[in-house]
Amino acid sequence: MATAASTSHVQALQSKHAGIEARLRDEMARPAPDAAKVQFLKKQKLRLKEEIARG
């Protein structure tokens, strides 16, 4: 059973994940996306996804 603190933590991580997803989408929509920035954002997004899965 999840505690209120862990639920809150997961919700915060999900919010960060959504923010990174939006930044990634914005960068990819540019005429010439910055490949390094895209790679960095994807790595951050993956780390958050893994942390969310751990709970």
Residue carrying structure tokens 């540019």: 30
Q: How many domains is the chain partitioned into structurally?
A: 1
Q: Judging by beta carbons within 10 Å of its beta carbon (0-12, 13-18, 19+), is residue 41 exposed, middle or buried?
A: buried
Query: Would you list the DSSP string of 16-34?
Result: HHHHHHHHHHHHHHSSS--
Q: Which domain holds residue 34?
A: 17-54
> pTM for the whole thing?
0.84
Q: Is residue 40 part of a domain?
A: yes
Q: Is residue 9 part of a domain?
A: no
pLDDT by position in tens, the chain (length 55): 568 888 999 999 999 999 999 999 999 999 999 999 999 999 999 999 999 999 7
Q: Is residue 6 part of a domain?
A: no
